[in-house]
Structure 1
């Protein structure tokens, strides 16, 4: 784990006020002998900008000594105590209250209300939504720790709650008018309302700037016309974040974003799209026909829709990286149990060198992806948009590739049983395959990663 205190240097919180003994080693009551005209260390008021007896060389040596002490501290890879407690609570909840429903959800496509109530009770619809809006108020790292555990149950649980955590709520949290934000964010964070993110269209997937759903101004409303497809949770959503173009000739700058109540006249759910996985969470077309949206439901400025979508997708991609880590961890546990029990040719599978190598490959790739996911979560909270986007893409790409390899190797270790529906392996294999597609394909993630590498390379060369 990369913690802020270990990954970036920052001075103490008082940031060198005059007479600070961390900055001025000589300015304390003993060293100055009471001759200092200003207030002593620890005082809030300062009567003079600098001590009268300052020793510049000594002060400089002291600063560099403290800086060296800080930088020589080992990086801390331990989760903070509060996150370990959270991890344990969510892990036990998933084991006792969600996983028992996995097989039934896969068979019927129905998620029990008791499980939904448990997700609400645990706060998993609003892990990093601020507390004043009924969320848990976790950092992105805390949110990803929770999602990592949630990924060990049927993916329907994450589709239903995770959309509320990231793409279904972040635009409202960051860009909505206060009245609109106050209306919807607590409902989403509590799980009383399910959100949906309406960006993808039949002719605009990865190239999201080419969306054709139109928005036009009409007095104090905007009127939406067009269609979206593959929209997760559309049939059960109570509110949509919708993207439409006001000016197709302006490309990405012509796109606006809106909050749209699902009950708004002119919005209807079209054809349900049956996916290869994800039973219990429906995907559907969303049709807009003269859908009138109040002006106050505009998110940000009219030209900011595309940027808003990308910021939401950064949150989604960061969470998907953690999701892949959790799913792969579950697969590795299945594999370890199996090779420890199964015998071939008079020996446990685990005693064959070839099996050891496969386990080593799985464990090492999982460990690497977890580090990438945790760094992406940390960077998300640091406020650097470019670094956030690059880290989110790297986490999603790394996680999606890793979990598919782990799933494939686990199924291979189980042989025919792994390919059967008697075990959950083939379901997890199908569920995680889509991560290479949704919220930005792996090909788009590779473009983002490569462009970031070129930028960093050019920046380094410019300083030589």
Structure 2
């Protein structure tokens, strides 16, 4: 069990109550669309953007509280939790961490009000994990910054008003934010993809997009190094989302196992099912411990999470959620295997957690590099 402050306990209990009362009926019915009704309600109650400063409409809390909100909501409606993850731990957070005051005032209030969606574009057709191979460039022409390039696997583009784009400057890698609505003539949608979870991802080209200086987030070796380090918060957000999905699946397995009877007793009373439930709980709690330990260590020291801590949590949680959801589906039997069943959707949704925010293989590379550089972590 986590030891939470009174304020944190209030946030968790309030969100759990809200989710069970307002989100449960429509959960698993969104069919790839953002659950905007839920988002609007969260914004109205002040729970959207908990880790964004109050002056931009956020809650003024930390990343840890934002992660708690993802898990509290996600155990009921994983789609709502995924929205919270994307808008609290990824693009909007990058703008607050690295953006100019003008950029913060322009983009963050709409995001925390649930009125605007901010996407993030990193991958390219020939550059995924190897960000150094990016070909999206920003060049200086006649005193202006001009962006050209192509991005792929970008989530939320059909609903987004702005996108954080990772780019290559003449002096190194960096990132900028561009308005999608203001650059409609300069952005060409090549195609939309539908992934296994029925979520839309987009490939698009940018032709001579003018980027105001105020929309440059990071530039040069030091700035981009900071943004790479900030990805550790995204990894912990991804781990939290995995934990939320797994908790949702475990709750459904426990409920079904106690209701479904075979041979004159609930199937949850058979030792084979009991052991499955115990192993699922063991794996989930281990994942939660890795995830929240990394976040709390970072907040206590006032810095970005340790790379090895974040990679361990991201790697373990991705493997864990796939296994827990699979075992929950197994407990549900043929019922859970049917299209339209919650477990069938959770199974497809969970698989993506081993890809997004850095693949398993990248996390293992990060962990091995840290071990070779620093040795085993201290026991203290």
Normalised by the length of structure 2, the TM-score is: 0.91
* Stretch deviating more after TM superposition (222-231 or 335-344): 335-344
CA distance in 1, matches of 2:150, 2:62: 35
Secondary structure, aligned partner of 2:316:
helix
SS state at 1:212 partner: coil
1:377 maps onto 2:281 in alignment: no
Cα deviation 1:242-274 (Å, max 9, x = unaligned): 111124xxxxx7212112111243234331111
- 1:340/1:349 contact within 8 Å kept: yes
Q: Tell whether 2:2 aligns with 1:82.
A: no
2:216 is equivalent to residue 298 of structure 1: yes
Structure 1's 278 and 315: CA in aligned 2 closer, same or farther, altered over 3 A? farther
Question: Is residue 329 from structure 1 mapped to residue 252 from structure 2 by the alignment?
Answer: no
Q: Which residue of 2 aligns with 1:273?
A: 193
Cα distance in 1 for partners of 2:224, 2:375 equals: 27
Q: Please report how far the alpha carbon of residue 410 of structure 1 lies from its aligned counterpart in structure 2 after TM superposition.
A: 0.7
Aligned partner of 1:127 in structure 2 is: 50
Counterpart pick for 2:345 among 414, 417, 427: 427
SS of structure 2 residue aligned to 1:102? coil
1:116: how far off?
3.0
Aligned equivalents of 1:113 and 1:175: distance in 2? 27
Q: What are the equivalent positions in structure 2 for 1:50-449 lying under 5 Å apart?
A: 77-106=2-31, 109-111=32-34, 113-247=36-170, 254-265=172-183, 266-279=186-199, 282-304=200-222, 306-383=224-301, 387-449=305-367
How far apart in 2 are the matches of 1:308 and 1:237? 25
Work out whether residues 70 and 82 of structure 2, in 8 Å CA contact, stay in contact via their aligned partners in 1.
no
SS of 1:402 mapped into structure 2: helix
**2:85–2:241: 8 Å Cα contact kept in structure 1?**
no
Report the Cα offset of residue 435 of structure 1.
0.7
Aligned equivalents of 1:270, 1:156: Cα separation in 2? 26
8 Å Cα contact 2:78-2:245 kept in structure 1: no
Cα pair 2:173 2:219 within 8 Å, conserved = no
* Aligned length in residues: 376
Q: C-alpha distance in 1, partners of 2:377/2:309?
A: 18
Q: CA deviation at 1:232?
A: 1.0
Find the aligned partners of 2:209 and 2:316 in 1 and give their Cα distance.
40
Q: Distance in 1 between matches of 2:34 and 2:270?
A: 41
Residue pair 1:198, 1:242 contacting (<8 A) in 2 also:
yes
Offset at residue 303 of structure 1 (A): 3.6
State the Cα distance separating 1:387 from its structure 2 match: 4.8
Which one scores higher on RCO, CA 8 angstroms, separation ≥ 6?
A: 2
- Superposed displacement of residue 212, structure 1: 0.9
Select the structure that is richer in strand. Answer: 2
Q: Give the SS at the match of 2:206.
A: strand
Alignment partners' CA distance in 1, 2:304 and 2:233: 13
Provide TM-score, normalisation by structure 1: 0.76
Conserved 8 A contact 1:156-1:278: no
Q: CA deviation at 1:183?
A: 2.0
Measured after TM superposition, the shift of residue 230 of structure 1 is: 0.9
- Distance in 2 (alpha carbons) for counterparts of 1:304 and 1:287: 27
Displacement of 1:306 in angstroms is 3.6
SS of 1:419's equivalent? coil
C-alpha RMSD of matched pairs (Å): 2.2
Q: Label 1:123 to 1:210 Cα distance change in 2 as closer, same or farther (>3 A).
A: farther
> What CA distance in whole angstroms lies between the structure 1 residues aligned with 2:293 and 2:120?
26
Distance 1:304 1:122 in 2: 38
Matched with 1:18 is: none
C-alpha distance in 2 between matches for 1:159 and 1:352: 34
The 2-side partners of 1:325 and 1:231 are apart by: 23
Deviation at 1:99, TM superposition (A): 2.5
Q: Measure the CA separation in 2 of the matches of 1:225 and 1:407.
A: 41
Give 1:130 deviation, angstroms. 1.5
SS of 1:226's equivalent in the other structure is strand
Q: The residue matched to 2:128 in structure 1 has which SS?
A: coil
